[in-house]
Amino acid sequence: MKILLLLVITLTFPAFAQDSIVLGVHSKTAPLEWRNNGVDQGFNIELMDRIGQLTNKRILVRRKSFQQLVQDVYNPNSDIDVIVVVSPVNMDRKLAQSDPIYATHAKAYTLQGKGLINSWADLIGKRVAIKKGAFVDVFLSDHLQNFDRVDVDLYETGFQLLIKNQVDVVIAESFVARRLLPLYPSVRSSSDALIYGAFNFVANESKTELMYQINEALRQLKLSGEYDRLVNKWFGTGREKVDLTSSEKRMFALAILVAIISAIGMIFTGLISASLRRHTKALDAELIQRRRIEAEISELSKQFQSVLDGIPNGVTIVNQDLQHLWSNDNNIHLLDSAAFYYIDNHAFVLKTAVLEVLSSQTPLIAEMRYQQQFWQLQIHPIAEKQVVILLEETTEQHRLRQANEEVSRLASLGELSAGIAHEINNPTGLIVHAVSLFTAALKDLTPAARHYQQQNPFWLIAGLTPDVAIEELQYSCGSIEEGAKRISRIVNDLKRYAMPHIADQYARVCLNDVVQVAQRLTANQTKVHQISMRLCQPSPIIKGDAQQLHQVLINLIQNACHACTEQHGEIIIETRIAGNTAILSIIDNGCGMSSATLKRITEPFFTTRRNEGGSGLGLSVCSKIIKEHQGEMQMQSSLGKGTQISLIFALEQHT
């Protein structure tokens, strides 16, 4: 298939009829050429008739098969001298050919619902029907394509194979395809023009003179405007004419249509222009809308980026090669620090963690440490080779958790202390009762022992003389009684620590009276120190339990005495009013406390005087009592400079 023939017209100049031109016709495509009631007609027929008139030659029409016509045009002795074929644009022929008669093109056709063909590349691997000898065939002879070619004798044969699913695509000339599409409704045009071509008169090289005459006549028709009239008559404004072979009446109707085609063209052009203007306005409005939306999206993107950058936590997206695809750069440096490790002290390697998350596609959530800080690390897979890394500091949460555990532990300790106190109280009471009996008995036995010693001078009690033995027994009873009372005091402190407060039993308490009572009860301990009393007048009044407040102040005074030396010890006790609060302060110039000790001073059983008999419950009980009174205990201390403890209460009123 070297040549696509939409119309084949042959001009013959036989030796016996030099003034005649025979037209051989192969195509049946309207409006180029066809036969109606035995009469050959169409654009090519009428054009050739006018060329015959200008060259003073009679036009004869002869129809042959496509293959026969191709053979005749190459045979200088055949009765076929000239044919009309389609030539691909920019492709020379070895035969003599005329100026272009009419432009055409070829494109792809597929079944309805199949994908569009946008270029030759879309045909790769498909079965494509090509008409043998057509101008598509000629074009492909110099343009190799990667598809499976199926040669057919007619375009209609290709359409039939397409319906039977024996080919995927048919490349056909547009005039032929338009005639065939109404006959095959399941076929559709699926591409723009793939090949452009033009109709030309083609003759054997021996007919060069004849081709010269045809060209001259064709140019004359174009210059006179008659060629344009024929084009408008048969093609209109670029649209293919309907097939007029059905009846003479339709032929007449089309002739009328050709007559008014110019007016219709102007109307059509005006409508198209108006439509284009409306479409242009719509496109402009759409463009404005798109620009506005793009600006909003850009602004939203900036806001989103600003939010991400403002997040205090670190957010980073990395791939499996640890390339940072995006990051807000907050604390990301920790990931590469050797001081950043798991809370169980295992080393952290970022690449190992990322690869594990990517391989398992399971998030990693771990508690981390960095110097004195605590962090939560999260690594989540978000793509096949990407993860998002989240870093959040949890130092405060960790400390709160520790504090909560400490509170729970202390609560459990309080409950345990209450039970221990109950168990210890019973044997302690028995000891105190028995010691009292032993002391009384020793007083009664002393005269009898002296009388018996006079009768038996060598009598010994536990290896001691009776006087020494009785004195030792009296001393031991005193020691036992003092130890039992000390045990009782510790037990009472434990019970007080574990005992819930009863706020509704509080009464009005004069703070100055509390100070004076405590000072009298501790006079024996404070007599070796310089005591200063700075009491506010009138005395502040608070709501509370006087006995509990006495206990607190006595404990604080005793602690101050323990912290001061006997020679230079100075203790100041003062009361004052500040706004709506009453403040009771105890200030000493003793040894003071370190910051570590100050943090733990109110913990139960914590004491710096363990070797001196301290139980570590005094300040714990004091702190509990102050909290029950809705008060606050503030402590300031420095090693070697002394300590100040201030008790702050809500002021009830002045006296």
Residue 515, domain CATH = 3.30.565.10
**Whether residue 568 sits in one domain with residue 456:** no
Look up residue 436 and give its two tokens.
């009292």
**Whether residue 334 sits in one domain with residue 387:** yes
Contacts of 318 (CB under 8 A, 6+ apart): 324, 325, 354, 386, 387, 389
pLDDT at residue 168, rounded to an integer: 95
pLDDT at residue 235, rounded to an integer: 82
Task: Confirm whether 2 is domain-assigned.
Answer: no
**Whether residue 381 sits in one domain with residue 280:** no
E strands within 42-142? 58-61, 82-88, 96-97, 103-111, 127-131
What is the chain's percent helix, strand, coil content, to nearest 5?
A: 45, 25, 30
**Whether residue 319 sits in one domain with residue 286:** no
Task: Confirm whether 58 is domain-assigned.
Answer: yes
Instruction: List alpha helices for 118-154, DSSP H.
Output: 135-140
**Whether residue 468 sits in one domain with residue 320:** no
pLDDT at residue 507, rounded to an integer: 87
**Whether residue 545 sits in one domain with residue 490:** no
pLDDT at residue 612, rounded to an integer: 59
Residue 220, domain CATH = 3.40.190.290
Q: What is the DSSP letter of 335?
A: G
pLDDT at residue 270, rounded to an integer: 85
Pick the last residue of a domain from 364, 393, 422. 393
**Whether residue 294 sits in one domain with residue 184:** no
| Burial state string for 180-216 with b = 16 or more CB within 10 A and e = fewer than 16 | beeebeebebbbeebbebbbbbbbbeebeebbebbbe
Pick the last residue of a domain from 498, 523, 544. 498
Divide the 655 residues of the chain into consecutive groups of 10 and give the mean pLDDT of each group.
36 49 75 80 88 88 80 82 80 77 91 90 92 85 86 91 95 88 92 89 84 90 91 69 48 77 83 87 88 84 68 80 77 81 84 87 88 86 84 80 61 61 73 79 79 79 79 82 73 58 72 86 79 89 87 86 82 91 90 81 71 65 85 87 90 67
Task: Confirm whether 352 is domain-assigned.
Answer: yes
Pick the last residue of a domain from 393, 416, 444. 393
Q: Indicate the number of domains in the chain.
A: 5
Q: Which domain holds residue 545?
A: 503-654
pTM: 0.37
Look up residue 526 and give its two tokens.
């404070």
Task: Confirm whether 10 is domain-assigned.
Answer: no
Task: Confirm whether 360 is domain-assigned.
Answer: yes
**Whether residue 215 sits in one domain with residue 68:** yes
3-class SS string, 545-589: CHHHHHHHHHHHHHHHHHHCCCCCCEEEEEEEEECCEEEEEEEEC
What pLDDT, in 10s, does the model give residues 401-427? 766 665 555 555 655 666 676 677 778
Task: Confirm whether 9 is domain-assigned.
Answer: no
pLDDT at residue 187, rounded to an integer: 95
**Whether residue 251 sits in one domain with residue 118:** yes
Residue 372, domain CATH = 3.30.450.20
**Whether residue 602 sits in one domain with residue 481:** no
Task: Return phi, psi of residue 446, to 5°.
Answer: -60, -45
Task: Confirm whether 11 is domain-assigned.
Answer: no
**Whether residue 234 sits in one domain with residue 86:** yes
pLDDT at residue 493, rounded to an integer: 58
**Whether residue 548 sits in one domain with residue 625:** yes
Instruction: List alpha helices for 18-127, DSSP H.
Output: 43-55, 66-73
Task: Confirm whether 333 is domain-assigned.
Answer: yes
